Amino acid sequence: MLAHSVDEALAPITDGCMLLIARESSGVAMAATRALIRRGVTRLHLVACPTSSLQADLLIGAGCVATIETSAVSLGEFGPAPRFVAAATSGSVRILDATCPAIHAALQAAEKGVPFMPLRGLIGSDLMAQRPDWRVIDNPFAEGDAIVLVPARRADVALFHAPMADRDGNVWIGRRRELATMAHAAKTALATVERVVDEPLLANEATAAGVLPALYVGGVAEAPRGAWPLGLLDLYVADEGAIAGYAAAARSDAGFAAWLADFVATKAAA
């Protein structure tokens, strides 16, 4: 189950793939993002769980994305995500607007193997007019009570970065439980990890509860500091200088191209 390289682990991510990506605080596979851009993958359907930042902006700017489904793409305190804004303005990328609960509900439906999940809170919003795939029905258990059905979203691949894995392909995600939902909702999960340990993670009572079993994992590759320039919970913080530099450079096409060339050429995280 353990891949020899990041490129080998990412082989299941092909052109046109529906790719489920993690939010910034959950473990973003930035080393994998670099490898995908270097390879030149195209026509991705990104599904953010439920938001994204630098990862989505880079993939969009690099021409890898045809559709993005998300509740937000932003660089947070560093401002708007420049390439996402440019794509939204030009219409070069199809945007499926959503809310955080709607995306989680769609993934939970796929996780449970059911065709949809009922959800409140969407009725009356502008989103309903933009999402014909969301249906309003009468609650069969309460007359006059309308409710929205959100269809299951089963991605081809879930991609994330985690602290460690063992040599059997079990991945320790700790309290980042949304990564388990992502893996359950996708046909397979691919993970980059900070380190690979020899001890079987499921055999240790201290780690077993936080393990995503290899049953759900199609590939693992060791990538130390593989979330950089973003951070990884409990291990290292985001490189604010690098993100600020990106935010400034990516406001123009030329600035983005120069920043991307340096990023893609980087063989290891800073």
195 and 259, same domain (yes or no): yes
109-120 pLDDT, tens digit each: 999 999 999 999
| Residue 107 lies inside a defined structural domain of this protein | no
pLDDT (average), residues 16-27? 96
Model confidence pLDDT, tens digit, residues 80-102? 999 999 999 999 999 999 999 99
Backbone φ/ψ region at 224: left (φ over 0), alpha (ψ -120 to 50), beta: beta
Quick check: is 74 in a domain? Answer: yes
The pLDDT confidence band at residue 4, using thresholds 50, 70 and 90, is confident
pLDDT tens-digit map of 142-179: 988 999 999 999 999 999 999 999 999 999 999 999 99
The whole-model pTM stands at: 0.94
* Co-location of 144 and 63 in the same domain: no
**How far apart (Å, rounded) are the C-alpha atoms in residues 85 and 90?**
9
Residue 158 falls within a domain, yes or no?
A: yes
Rounded Cα distance between 267 and 6, Å, is 11
Which pairing describes strands 116-119 and 146-151: parallel, antiparallel, or unpaired? antiparallel
Question: Which domain does 140 fall in, by range?
Answer: 116-151
The pLDDT score that the predictor gives to residue 101 is 96
Same domain membership, residue 65 and residue 14: yes
What number is the average pLDDT over the span 167-194? Answer: 96
The amino acid that residue 199 corresponds to is E
Residue 41 and residue 125 share a domain: no
- Based on the fold, state whether residues 55 and 90 are members of the same structural domain: yes
Asked whether residue 269 carries a pLDDT value surpassing 60, the answer given is no
Query: What is the distance of C-alpha 161 from the center of its chain?
Result: 10
Query: How many whole angstroms from its chain centre is CA 12?
Result: 15
pLDDT value of position 270: 47
Could you count the other beta carbons within 10 Å of the beta carbon of residue 125? Answer: 14
Phi-psi region of 247 (alpha: psi -120 to 50; beta: other; left: phi over 0): alpha
Q: Assess whether pLDDT exceeds 60 at residue 221.
A: yes
Reading the block at residue 171, the tokens are: 């991945």
Same-domain check for residues 157 and 78: yes
Domain total in the chain: 2
Say yes or no: 137 and 159 in one domain: no
* Statement to judge: residues 75 and 125 lie in one domain: no
Q: Are residues 201 and 236 in the same domain?
A: yes
User: Residues 67-71: what's their mean pLDDT?
Assistant: 97
Mean pLDDT computed over every residue of the chain = 95
* Rounded Cα distance, 39 and 12, in Å: 13
- The per-residue pLDDT for 73 is 97
State mean pLDDT over 68-82.
97
